[in-house]
């Protein structure tokens, strides 16, 4: 291996200096200088230019910093002008010589004779210590039977009865009109009983078949047949209930 030394390194070389970059200069530099010179005062760094020398007579004296109270005035209430007059003192004497012609004994007697005696309040006692309670609000006093309209039918019930009567009249008129036209007829008692017995017989027949179904419904046809029979029995039960509930049944022609 060869070293990095060379005879050419003994020849002096001229040192190349890298030129420096220009310094950054703010564009507000001139404005800052003008403002600085404009706001600068002569005593900001070296104190005020002229200082007043304190006088020997200007010194702190006793009681100079204490608060000054207003002049003392007699006490007066804010509402003194609207107050009632004071109670007469024991030393005061009423004006003598004033007389009245009113006869207080006769007046009191007449007022007591003509006055209506006060009605005693109804109470009840519920403990041995004598605890009193009002009887009117306790529920023990029969207050409602003393009302003027006690025992009468309320107005809302009378109104409801009238509405039911009018509705029944309109329904009867509607049925009569259809009977007159011949578009409707009423089932007789025998026909109603015959239809009711037929519905019950159909229900018994379907119910008997339903009891004979397999307990396990593991196939789709079994499940569908069971659901169909249940739906038919429910429909028959609703029809039977409607016919048993209504004694008069009308059918259209």
192-211 tens-digit pLDDT: 899 999 999 999 999 999 99
pLDDT at 182 over 90: no
Per-residue pLDDT at 121: 86
Q: Which residues contact 217 (CB under 8 A, 6 or more apart)?
A: 223, 226
Per-residue pLDDT at 58: 86
> How does 92-106 read in b/e, with b if 16+ C-beta sit within 10 Å?
eeeeeeeeeeeeeee
Top-confidence range, 14-18, 133-137, 157-161, 247-251: 157-161
Q: Using CA atoms, how far apart are residues 112 and 72, in angstroms rounded to an integer? A: 60
pTM value? 0.37
Check: CB of residue 253 under 8 Å from CB of residue 182: yes
Q: Using CA atoms, how far apart are residues 150 and 144, in angstroms rounded to an integer? A: 7
DSSP reduced 3-state for 54: coil
Cα 203 to chain centroid, rounded: 56
Per-residue pLDDT at 46: 65
How many beta carbons lie within 10 A of that of residue 167, not counting itself?
10
pLDDT at 2 over 60: no
DSSP reduced 3-state for 48: coil
Q: Phi and psi (nearest 5°) for 186?
A: -105, 135
pLDDT at 223 over 70: yes
Average pLDDT value for the chain = 85
Q: Phi and psi (nearest 5°) for 10?
A: -80, -15
pLDDT at 244 over 60: yes
Strand pairing partners for 134? 123
Q: Using CA atoms, how far apart are residues 9 and 6, in angstroms rounded to an integer? A: 6
- CA neighbor of 236 nearest in space, from 209, 196, 208: 196
For 106-122, what is the mean pLDDT?
90
Tokens encoding 159: 């109104």
pLDDT at 250 over 90: no
Check: CB of residue 234 under 8 Å from CB of residue 225: no
pLDDT band with cut points at 50, 70 and 90 for residue 37: confident
pLDDT at 252 over 80: no
pLDDT at 183 over 90: no
pLDDT at 95 over 70: no
Check: CB of residue 232 under 8 Å from CB of residue 206: yes
């Amino acid at each position: 291996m060869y070293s990095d030394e060379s005879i050419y390194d003994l020849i002096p070389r001229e040192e190349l200096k890298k030129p420096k970059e220009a310094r950054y200069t703010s564009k507000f530099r001139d404005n800052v200088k003008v403002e600085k010179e404009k706001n600068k005062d002569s005593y900001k760094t070296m104190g005020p230019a002229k200082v007043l020398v304190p006088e020997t007579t200007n010194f702190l004296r006793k009681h100079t910093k204490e608060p000054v109270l207003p002049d003392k005035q007699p006490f007066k209430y804010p509402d003194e002008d609207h107050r009632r007059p004071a109670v007469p003192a024991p030393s005061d004497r009423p004006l003598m010589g004033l007389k009245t012609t009113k006869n207080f004994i006769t007046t009191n007697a007449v007022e007591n004779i003509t006055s209506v005696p006060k009605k005693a309040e109804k109470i009840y006692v519920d403990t041995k210590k004598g605890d009193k309670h009002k009887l009117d609000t306790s529920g023990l006093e029969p207050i409602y039977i003393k009302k003027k309209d006690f025992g009468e039918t309320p107005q809302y019930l009378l109104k409801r009865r009238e509405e039911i009567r009018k509705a029944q009249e309109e329904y009867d008129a509607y049925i009569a009109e259809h009977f007159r036209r011949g578009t409707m007829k009423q089932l007789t008692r025998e026909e109603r009983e015959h239809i009711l017995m037929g519905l019950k017989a159909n229900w018994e027949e379907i119910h008997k078949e339903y009891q004979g179904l397999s307990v396990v419904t593991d196939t789709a046809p079994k499940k569908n047949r069971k659901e169909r029979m249940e739906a038919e029995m429910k429909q028959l039960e609703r029809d039977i209930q409607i016919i048993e509930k209504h004694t008069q049944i009308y059918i259209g022609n």
